[in-house]
Structure 1
Amino acid sequence: MALDLLDILVLVGLVLGSAYFFREKLFGKSDKTAITGLGKNAAKAGKTRNIIERMQQSDKNVMWFYGSQTGTAEDYASRLSKEAGARFGLKSMTGDLEEYDFENLDEVPEDTVLAFVLATYGEGEPTDNAVEFYEFITGDEPMFSKGESVEEKPLRNLKYIAFGLGNNTYEHYNSMVRRVDAALQKLGATRIGTAGEGDDGAGTMEEDFLSWKETMWEAYKNDVGLEEREAVYEPAFQIKEREDLTPESDSVYLGEPNSFHLEGNAKGLPFNAHNPFIAPIDSSKELFTTKDRNCLHMEINLKGSNLSYTTGDHVAVWPTNPGREVLRLLTVLGIAEKKDTVINVSPADSTAKVPFPTPTTYDAILRYHIEICAPVSRQFLAQLAPFAPSDEAKAKIELLGSDKDEFHKQVANQYFNIAQTLEAVAPGQIWKNIPFSLILEGLTKIQPRYYSISSSSHVQKDVVAITAVVESITVPGGTHVLKGVTTNYLLALKQKQHGEEDPEPNGLNYNLTGPRNRYDGVHVPVHIRHSNFKLPTDPTKPIIMIGPGTGVAPFRAFVQERAALAQEGQEVGKTILFFGCRKESEDFLYADEWKQYQEALGDNFKLITAFSRDGPKKVYVQHRLEEHAAEVDELLKKGAYFYVCGDAAHMAREVNTALGRIVAEQRGLTIQQGDEIVKRLRSSNLYQEDVWS
């Protein structure tokens, strides 16, 4: 039936009204940054994706793009942008790579500089927000607006800056910045200074960054004739206390990530990295038998979320900061009595963005949104000197901010967070002069923590399992410093589930019921991140798995899946697991389960263990691998998939070396030839790693 004009007008009105409704529900009227990135290429409402237009609208001539997975690259870009303005008067802004198109890079004015702060993710891959930019700029023949070919150097007028964040324990160390830098130069662009590289694997990322940026600024000054001025702090955010609102007000965010969570109907949005699902924990248990260490197994239910996973994926847990550290920072800043005061946080510059929804409270910001427990940076300490409570404290913090060795001795080696550092610099004094905006600028946004899922999606479609050691360390001098914000949070949830009143693992206390008690009943905020760490699509293919400690997590899922397939009558290939831990009696993870899987898989499953502290000398998984060299090499010749999960800095590197040696010795080759075969296994996806530093 044909529609008449009135019908059409009514329909258009409904569509526009619905669009407006969801936009207002999503972003709120006072804060358009409550939640972003719901789609892969989601652009902010009303913002152009044209780089030149965006910079002209904002009256900027320097753009600091970031490709960030955990927030560090974004933090570095923000710090550089602010420093560019404070030290040199540059009109500077940051940019999320996924919010822009790059076809008109060939039209960027000569007086404009673009910077790229790029993290390398996984095995040499771009971060999620940098995929499209990376594929475009490194393509064989990127199509720019003027239609010039690569040979014509279409970016000959472009000046750029580059810094990479990598980990030398990975084969493709800092490959993102290296490949992007090479592509830009191939296209005719001119780099200012060197392409910097930070190394998380060596633990020198921050110092690498600080060292590089000083040489970069020198090159920048020489290239364009910049004049440095005395840096004066200008707040990036305006903080306004709201006397007309209380924490009980319906419009006040108490830790909710967006308005849908605030209103209690979060299921109106897809659950993803910007919108967590508040998932019930079905069950939890302790895996270690020793009292001084904890390892958790948790089963988290995804029913009703539309979240799905496949075996080998990761689950992201959104952490909550411990109350003890929240109170410590509130106290040292002199705002403990105002912790529940409602504040509005707004950007002082139109290009800045508030990393959480507002209005909110001081307590909610520090508890749910900011990394207050992370190690403090030397650069941030230097910025705090003008606000010290005494001349003595100012001298101390200036020393820590300028002297790398003193900083490492007094702060970094103690694993101090910001509040602990301020307490140590000026015991008993209150740093009430520090602008709260500076705290928001100097500390990064809290990031989800990712865990390899230790369950099979074939067996438990709606439930993901986590296997996690609760992290804590003791520093020289016997001071107990807690390292694992998220794992201690999970331990507290486990204690609550098992009936302990007021669970406080390692002396910490968490708000386990969440904002407005919406996490009550033992819930945890999560989302799923898909991974390339996968079983072969053909279950008859042999697999070899190396997973010491909690590195066994994805392999429990792999073996669980193969056991289920075998019980269903499917043919399953040889499945070998090398597992290592300290002592068989204390931390032999899933010891009883392996027996069940053995019954299901029969001779197709072999578990090879290495208990490093049970024998006269320490034995690790790489030693067991070499003891079974002939079998391992024979399976590789048959097309076996080789998997490694766990510590990147030591175990994964040594396993890689051992495998090259095994191949060489078994096939009568040189070590170099053996290593080349291992590299080919990697490039063909037959050698896969899921490792961390």
Structure 2
Amino acid sequence: MAQLDTLDIIVLAAIFLGTVAYFTKGTYWGIAKDPYASTYAAANGNKAGKTRNIVEKMEESNKNCVVFYGSQTGTAEDYASRLAKEGKSRFGLETMVADLEDYDYDNLDTLPEDKIAMFVLATYGEGEPTDNAVDFYEFITGDEPSFTNSAEPALGNLRFVAFGLGNNTYEHYNSMVRNVTASLEKLGAERIGAAGEGDDGAGTMEEDFLAWKDPMWTALAEKMGLEEREAVYEPVFGITEREGLTKDSPEVYLGEPNKMHLEGSSKGPFNAHNPYIAPIAESREVFTVKDRNCLHMEIDISGSNLSYQTGDHIAVWPTNAGKEVDRFLNVIGLLSKRDSVISVKALDPTAKVPFPTPTTYDAIVRYHMEICAPVSRQFVATLAPFAPTEAAKTEMSKLGSDKDYFHEKISNRYLNIAQVLEDVESTEKWTAIPFSAFIEGVNKVQPRYYSISSSSLVQKDKISITAVVESMHIPGRADALKGVTTNYLLALKQKQHGDPNPDPHGLTYNITGPRNKYDGVHVPVHVRHSNFKLPSDPSKPIIMVGPEDFLYSSEWEEYGKILGDKFELITAFSRDGPSKVYVQHRLQEYAKEVNELLEKKAYFYVCGDAANMAREVNTVLGKIIAEQRGIPEAKAEEIVKSMRSANQYQEDVWS
């Protein structure tokens, strides 16, 4: 994700009148972002059972606890898996994890009282359900959901717990878990313990989850008569080394997402399960400074049947940096076996292998594991028993149990799992950790989503992205924190411009892909459609607000010359001069003009940082309306909310 607010920012505010939107069609209205990413499942992994009846599935697999998840970026799915594992190891529950889109919900009224349902639900965008939870949400919050029986109350038998993943910088904070909990209780279901709420905006998601789950388990154990036992690691996946196969064997996956890609016959539709290997038609630097990179890339989708509209997002499927792959394999003692072929099999019939097999250790770590992500305190605690020395075991246990100590030593430095293991014990290898524990405990690599910065009318067969390459110096770290995908894209750009061995910021990438199938500078992508759209009526005025460096400055100048008085560009250079001038200050200065445009039903667009800029813009806009129209601020705030509801006020923001 391009965290522009953490770098040398120049804030740009653009006020457009109607025709500019239709002249440029938002040609460069978009910057790199990575707040959301659809959960993708390997097409070759184990599928959910044939039945869509969850009660039937639980009965046939002898389960008494189901953990449903609604996930957009994979985090909710990860928490669901962790809850299921903990329920099994600590309390002996027979647990299963369930994707909400894999099952029907009209039979929830038949779930026996001696079974428990857990819901881990992320809120997406402006209070919306995640893609995989849309049908469930519409059903359960509907006016009269129809269930199998005619009992009153309909869900009087259902016992449930709930945890939500949200972001307080958005107006509808954690609305998914709040609305689902309210609907379930309205239908007669019994909630056990408090409904938890994690806050990504405050950076406390992990600790919010940990603080919620312990009292939840206490309440659940009391209600269900569960007895806690000493937690023992029980693998979900079995791993077998395949002596007769090598990495050159045609049936071995080396990072291909599914069988079509393995056989070299990948066909559409291209989506979150099946990426298109797209040529990069053009790449160039937008910044002129030496110590920072901002990329403009043109991705060719002409051979894919993919289509997009201005305002949509493109997903880039990243590859982990070679340096981090080597670090991970080395610290767990598998560097010499990186190319050994293994098969991975689910030991539980309800579990899914998160990637196709047979494959190699290297391919799993390079293409399928988020090895560069910050590590969770709970995962560190689960690895403590496998430490190579008593001193390391003691340190891992302390890190796992002491919130403040973990923050000081680990999370404050944004260390990934391999860095943590190196930090705790650098001499001995961590060979006792079962590889299955990493498959279960390290999230799957997720596609990164970027705002499309090109016009679908001007270039329907090419998608542009504008991405600041992330490389941040963190106190207490020897090396910089580097963005996984933006540095991967920088390596592709360097390759395209003649560097045979690109090494951006000290990182190397296998940019030619599995079996060199991406040679010629290709990148795996798919498109996600968005509700961030220009008005259908071209006569409506448009106000656009965005923080960014003065990108494409010559093109803005050109548009100004062509459009004349139909276009006005207002800049706010927040890092220039003795005082900081932000975009919200400029809005206030132009309060009269802004209000006049709004009274003409102007559409208002905000793109950028949710935590600071977007929130301030929202507040200032309410004040402008109140001052200019002589109404109370509370009434003005209601007007802004109504604009949001009518899609007259739209945001494409990240935290």
User: What TM-score results when the alignment is normalised by the length of structure 2?
Assistant: 0.92
Matches within 5 A, 1:329-340: 329-340=328-339
1:56 paired to 2:59: yes
Which secondary structure state, in structure 2, belongs to the residue aligned with residue 281 of structure 1? strand
Answer whether contact 1:322 1:508 (CA < 8 A) is retained: yes
Shift of 1:374: 0.1
Which amino acid in structure 2 is aligned with residue 687 of structure 1? Y
Query: Hey, what does 1:260 align to over in structure 2?
Result: 260
The equivalent residue for 1:318 is 317
Q: Report the AA paired with residue 667 of structure 1.
A: R
Deviation of the 1:74 alpha carbon = 0.4
Task: Give the corresponding residue for 2:164.
Answer: 164
Equivalent residue of 2:353, what SS?
coil
Structure 2 Cα separation of the partners of residues 183 and 275 of structure 1: 35
Structure 1 distance, partners of 2:561, 2:367, is 46
The corresponding residue for 1:193 is 193
Partner of 1:661 in structure 2? 623
* Residues in 2 aligned to 1:34 and 1:177: alpha-carbon distance in whole angstroms: 27
Whichever residue aligns with residue 217 of structure 1, its letter is: W
Paired amino acid for 1:88: F
- Indicate yes or no: 2:372 matched with 1:373: yes
Shift of 1:409: 0.5
Q: Which runs of 5 or more residues in structure 1 are unaligned?
A: 1-32, 38-42, 550-580, 582-587
Question: 1:3 maps to what in 2?
Answer: none
- Letter of the 2:43 counterpart: I
Cα distance between partner residues in 2 of 1:461 and 1:525? 18
SS across alignment from 1:274: coil
RMSD: 1.3
Does the C-alpha gap of structure 1 residues 654 and 46 become closer, same or farther in structure 2, counting only changes over 3 Å? closer
**Structure 1 CA distance for aligned equivalents of residues 509 and 48 of structure 2:** 36
Conserved 8 A contact 1:103-1:145: yes
Quote the offset at 1:234 in angstroms.
0.7
Distance 1:501 1:250 in 2: 27
The 3 A distance-change label for structure 1 pair 665 and 502 is same
The correspondence for 2:643, drawn from 643, 658, 681, is: 681
Aligned partner of 2:13 in structure 1 is none
Distance 2:305 2:613 in 1: 37
**For the residues of structure 2 that align with 1:77 and 1:603, how far apart are their CA atoms?**
55
Give deviations 1:44-84, integer Å, cap 9, x for gaps. 47610001111111110100000000000000000000110
CA distance in 1, matches of 2:156, 2:622: 44
Quote the Cα distance in structure 2 between the aligned partners of 1:211 and 1:243: 45
- Counterparts of 1:171-320 in structure 2 under 5 Å? 171-267=171-267, 269-320=268-319
How much has 1:679 moved relative to structure 2? 1.3
Q: Residues 474 and 481 of structure 2 are in contact (CA less than 8 Å); yes or no, is this contact kept in structure 1?
A: no
Deviation at residue 107 of structure 1 after TM alignment: 1.1
Alpha-carbon deviations, 1:239-277, whole Å to 9, x = none? 11111000000000000000000001111x310001000
CA distance in 2, matches of 1:101, 1:468: 40
* 2:119 match: 116
Matched residue of 1:451: which SS? strand
- Residue in 2 that maps onto 1:415: 414
Q: Which residue of 2 aligns with 1:8?
A: none
1:556-595 to 2 correspondences below 5 Å = 581=549, 588-595=550-557
Partner of residue 495, structure 1: 494
Alignment CA distance shift 1:36-1:365 (3 Å): closer
Residues 478 and 233 (structure 1), Cα distance of their counterparts in 2 relative to 1, 3 Å cut = closer
Q: How far apart are the structure 2 equivalents of 1:315 and 1:285? A: 18
Instruction: Point out the structure with max Rg over C-alpha.
Output: 1
Q: Is the 8 A contact 1:155 1:184 kept in 2?
A: yes
**SS in structure 2 opposite 1:457?**
coil
CA 200–36 in structure 1, closer or farther in 2 if over 3 Å, else same: farther
Say which SS state the counterpart of residue 198 (structure 2) adopts.
strand
Looking at structure 2, the residues matched to 480 and 275 of structure 1 have their Cα atoms a distance apart, in angstroms, of 34
Alpha-carbon distance in 1 for matches of 2:179, 2:562: 47
Partner of 2:22: none
Cα distance change on mapping 1:444 and 1:673 into 2, 3 Å: same
CA positional deviation for 1:110: 1.1
Do 1:313 and 1:453's aligned partners in 2 also have CA atoms closer than 8 Å?
A: yes
2:133 paired with 1:125: no
- Distance between the aligned counterparts of 1:676 and 1:345, measured in 2? 54
Distance 1:59 1:237 in 2: 18
Q: Distance in 1 between matches of 2:153 and 2:652?
A: 39
Q: Secondary structure at the match of 2:446?
A: coil
- What's 2:17 paired with? none
Q: Residue 128 of structure 2 contacts residue 176 of structure 2 at CA under 8 Å; is this kept in 1?
A: yes
Instruction: Give the aligned residue type for 1:83.
Output: E
2:139 to 131, 136, 139: 136
Equivalence map 1:354-503=2 (5 Å)? 354-477=353-476, 479-503=478-502
Structure 1 residues 393 and 45, CA gap change in structure 2 (3 angstroms): closer
- 1:645 aligned residue: 607
User: Distance between the aligned counterparts of 2:432 and 2:476, measured in 1?
Assistant: 32
* Cα distance in 1 between the residues matched to 2:438 and 2:565: 59
**Structure 1 residue 628 corresponds to structure 2 residue 576:** no
- Cα distance in 1, alignment partners of residues 42 and 131 from structure 2: 20
DSSP 3-state at the match of 1:480:
coil
Task: State whether structure 2 residue 75 is matched by structure 1 residue 68.
Answer: no
SS of the equivalent of 1:547 reads strand
Structure 2 distance, partners of 1:108, 1:493, is 52
Residues 1:648 and 1:626: Cα distance change in structure 2 (over 3 Å): same
Instruction: Report the alpha carbon displacement of residue 34 of structure 1 after superposing the two structures with TM.
Output: 4.0
Distance 2:479 2:605 in 1: 35
Identical pairs, percent: 70
Code of the aligned partner of 1:536: P
Check the 8 A contact 1:503/1:509 in 2, yes or no.
yes
2:574 aligned to 612, 616, 627, which one? 612
For 1:670 and 1:541, the matched residues in 2 are separated by: 27
Offset of 1:289 from its aligned partner? 1.2
Q: Give the aligned residue type for 1:437.
A: S
Aligned amino acid, residue 191 of structure 2: R
Q: How does 1:343-354 map to 2 (within 5 A)?
A: 343-354=342-353
CA offsets 1:433-460 (integer angstroms, 9 cap, x no match): 0000001111000000000000011111
Q: 1:35 aligns with which of 31, 35, 43?
A: 43
Tell me: higher relative CO, structure 1 or 2? Use CA pairs within 8 A at least 6 residues apart.
Answer: 2
CA distance in 2: counterparts of 1:615 and 1:257, whole angstroms:
51
Distance of 1:541 and 1:615 partners within structure 2:
36
Secondary structure (helix, strand or coil) at the match of 2:480 reads strand
Q: Give 1:249's aligned amino acid.
A: S
**Which ranges of structure 2 fall in alignment gaps of 5 or more residues?**
1-40
Separation in structure 2 between the aligned mates of residue 438 and residue 194 of structure 1, nearest angstrom: 30
Aligned partner of 2:98 in structure 1 is 95
Q: Distance in 1 between matches of 2:225 and 2:272?
A: 42
The question of whether the paired residues in 2 share the 8 Å contact of 1:633 and 1:662 is answered with yes
Give 1:278's aligned amino acid.
I
Q: Deviations over 1:638-665 (max 9, x none)?
A: 1011111111111111111111111111
The one-letter code matched in structure 1 to 2:233 is Y
Q: Secondary structure at the match of 1:447?
A: coil
TM-score in terms of structure 1 length: 0.87
How far apart are the structure 2 equivalents of 1:690 and 1:452?
A: 8
Structure whose residues are more often helix by fraction: 1
Contact 1:327–1:336 (8 Å) recurs in 2: yes
SS state of the match for residue 356, structure 1? coil
Equivalent pair of 2:413/2:477 in contact (CA under 8 Å) = no
Distance 1:412 1:354 in 2: 29
Q: Secondary structure at the match of 1:526?
A: strand
